[in-house]
Each structure stands twice: as C-alpha cells, then as structure tokens.
Amino acid sequence: MLKFYHAPWSRSFTVLWLLEELGVPYEMELVNIRGSVPDEYRSIQPNKKVPAIVHDGHAVTERAAITLYLGETFNEKGLAPVPGDPDRAEYIRQLVYHDSVFDPVVCARVHELKYVSNDYPFGLFEDMLSHVERVFTERPYAAGDRFTLADIIWGTGINYTMNVLRALPSLPVFEDYVRRVTDRPSFKAAMDRENGLVKAFESRILLPLRP
C-alpha cells in the first residue's frame, strides 16, 4: 500500500501530479500544514511538511527523493531513465538541482534576502536563472528530448513561480515549456483533484481521502 501525505496548494502538488501520471493506486491523507499538525507526523516528516509517502512501511520525503523512488519502483511507462540510459545523469541532476538550488533561491528572492554567492550553498538567483534558461533553450525537456518525471517537478516549479508567485520572469522559453508539459491528461486530472481538495479544506473536511 502507498500512502501519500498532501496539503492542497502546496509543494506536494508535484507528487499528486506524479501519481496521476504513473497511474499508481494510493491512499491520500491530508495534512493541515497551515493549522495544527500532530507531533506524531514527525516520525514520517521531521519538519511536519509535505509531501511525504509511506510505501510498504518505508517513509520517503523530499520531492526529488520521492520522484526517484516512485520512478524506479513504478517504471512501467519508462518515465524514469534507468542506469545505462544516456539521460540518466541529467535526470538525477535536474531533480536535485530543482530542490536544492532553484526552490531555495526563489524563496530567498521573494523574501528579499541579501547575500553573496558564498553565503549559502544554493548561490545566486541570477546564476540559477541563467542556467535554467539555458537548459530549456537547449532541449525541450528537463533531461533531454523526452518527457520524464523530472518535468513534473520542473513544470510545477516554473509554472508556479512564473505565473502565480511572479518571481520568475515570463520568458518565452519558460512559457513554451510550461505549455508543453502541462498539456497532459495527468496534469488536468491532478488539477481537478486539487480543486476538489481545496473546497474540502475550505469546508474543514480534513478526513483521509481515497482516489
């Protein structure tokens, strides 16, 4: 059994989309991260954040790790490059870069954190922006010429930071990429599910939900 811990309109939407793309059966449990989170949840996610999954008794947290784990465990669709695949190195690199550089750099930018590159391991916004623009100018997808699970992380990240947070500039290369990766049935299904969950939260219906 796979249990997915989720909060609507949070970073865990990435994993919701990923599960829809993989077509994996799962049980969802909503975590009210904007309210009171039970301390026992720390045994699954030490900072009481989302997303998290528990699969066959094993907890996995952090989006890049969850993507790697689920991609290798449920790879019937070939959406996670396996060892020996020429896209494997870039696939892993882009998953980790998004969570360890892109995301914290954007947060620092939004909160107007002033620093020099060596102050923090994630470096500067300008360097990140130059890298990401170059990646999606050189190729249509995060890891190469085909859609992989890395595009769910990057598609969510760029879409949110550019169109909602307004922290990323609306460059044509980013707009084209977002249109390309979100034009999938799995994204539309995840958005429909998310909108329903938002209504449930607004109604304070915080019970575990099953797909």
Once rounded to an integer, what is the mean pLDDT over residues 156-174? 97
Once rounded to an integer, what is the mean pLDDT over residues 70-84? 97
At residue 34, the pLDDT reads 86
d(CA 104, CA 122): 7
Place of tokens 């994630």: 122
Q: Which CATH number fits domain 88-184: 1.10.10.10, 1.10.1740.10, 1.10.510.10, 1.20.1050.10?
A: 1.20.1050.10
Distance of CA 103 to the CA centre of its chain: 10
Q: What is the pLDDT of residues 120-148, one digit of tens each?
A: 999 999 999 999 999 999 999 999 999 99
With 90 as the cut, is the pLDDT of residue 211 above it? Answer: no
At residue 16, the pLDDT reads 98
Give alpha helix (H) positions in the chain: 13-22, 63-73, 88-97, 103-110, 125-138, 150-163, 172-182, 185-202
Q: What is the pLDDT of residues 10-52, one digit of tens each?
A: 999 999 999 999 999 999 999 989 888 999 999 999 999 999 9
Domain spans of the chain, in order of start: 2-78+186-202, 88-184
Once rounded to an integer, what is the mean pLDDT over residues 62-81? 97
Fold category of 2-78+186-202 in CATH: Glutaredoxin (3.40.30)
Lowest model confidence (mean pLDDT) among 33-42, 64-73, 186-195, 200-209: 200-209
At residue 201, the pLDDT reads 67
